[in-house]
């Protein structure tokens, strides 16, 4: 059963949806699923519809989909994404299975490390922890990030004559998706304008990061994760994700890795297989912990 969902955070409202399993019987832990950068909760809908034994909540990050944008003086920083997720988990009042894709996976890992009591399992799809940078790059990265913020405050999103043009534009950069899946994805991220349609995301989310953790800091974060971890990679996904995983495998206390055919949005193109992997992983690790 699908139902719309909203959550009031400090100074803003998140928008999303929740799906309850149709099948009656024992249910596994509650799942909170988070999407990637410039995507929205609809990227998780094909997966959610194939999860049989868990309730699943997905929401749009601030500045994405139907969630509110930050005030004019605000900026989007990776630590702030973690704060948003923490506020959601505090309202649920139960340990959850965190499932995240790409940017969502990186944020979920930080919250699982800092608040282990709130996360029973962590599933990262095309992700292996936060992005890192070299200490020597700090000043240059700060400059690039702040100048990028300045530009983004003056920008507007691209306009198209109709939704078909918007689908074609997104399909050109998300070539692993079919046009049908692209249309599902952009439905939460398109707004009517005076002479057509345009993207609904906040242009400021495209600004470059002004700072990142160093690799030793990221490794310390990952070592602090106490729950079982599953990482699902796509054979034709982002190569840098596989590189990060190869160098960080030793950071995880209990890790299961799987790889499926497909591109970066493998959870949309292979939702049944991804759902099966997640449910089996949760069931197996619950039995192990018992």
- Just list the catalytic residues: 102
Integer Cα distance of 217 and 212 in angstroms = 10
Residue 148 CB burial class (10 angstroms; 0-12, 13-18, ≥19): middle
Radius of gyration of the chain (CA): 19
The CA-to-CA distance between both ends of the chain, in Å, stands at 30
Q: Taking the alpha carbons of 272, 127, 59, 269 in that order, is the dihedral positive or negative?
A: negative
Cβ neighbours of residue 252 closer than 8 Å, sequence gap 6 or more: 222, 225, 229
SS3 131: coil
How distant, in Å, are the alpha carbons of 47, 74, 121, 189, 220 from that of 100?
12, 24, 11, 19, 20
Residues 6+ apart with CB under 8 A from 193: 159
């Amino acid at each position: 059963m699908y139902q719309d969902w909203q959550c009031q955070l400090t100074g803003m409202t998140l928008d999303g949806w929740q799906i309850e399993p149709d099948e009656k019987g024992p249910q596994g832990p509650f799942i909170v699923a988070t999407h990637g950068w410039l995507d929205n909760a609809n990227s998780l809908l094909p997966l959610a519809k194939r999860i049989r034994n868990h309730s699943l909540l997905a929401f749009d990050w601030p500045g994405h989909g139907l969630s509110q944008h930050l005030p004019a003086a605000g900026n989007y920083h990776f630590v702030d994404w973690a704060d948003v997720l923490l506020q959601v988990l505090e309202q649920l009042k139960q340990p959850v299975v965190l499932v995240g894709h790409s940017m969502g996976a990186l944020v979920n890992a930080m919250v699982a490390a800092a608040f282990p009591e709130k996360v029973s399992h962590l599933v990262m799809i095309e992700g292996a922890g936060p992005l890192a940078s070299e200490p020597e790059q700090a000043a240059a990265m700060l400059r690039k990030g702040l100048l990028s913020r300045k530009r983004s405050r003056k920008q507007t999103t691209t306009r198209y004559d109709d939704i078909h043009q918007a689908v074609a534009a997104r399909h050109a950069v998300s070539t692993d998706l079919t046009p049908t899946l692209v249309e599902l994805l952009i439905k939460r991220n398109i707004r009517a304008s005076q002479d057509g349609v345009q993207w609904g995301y906040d242009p400021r989310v495209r600004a470059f990061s002004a700072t990142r953790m160093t690799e030793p800091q990221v490794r310390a974060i990952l070592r602090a994760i106490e729950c079982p971890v599953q990482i699902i990679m796509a054979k034709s996904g982002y190569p840098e994700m596989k590189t990060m995983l190869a160098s960080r495998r030793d950071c995880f206390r209990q890790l299961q890795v799987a790889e499926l055919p497909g591109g970066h949005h493998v959870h949309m193109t292979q939702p049944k297989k991804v759902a099966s992997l997640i449910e089996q992983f949760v069931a197996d690790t619950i039995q192990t912990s018992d």
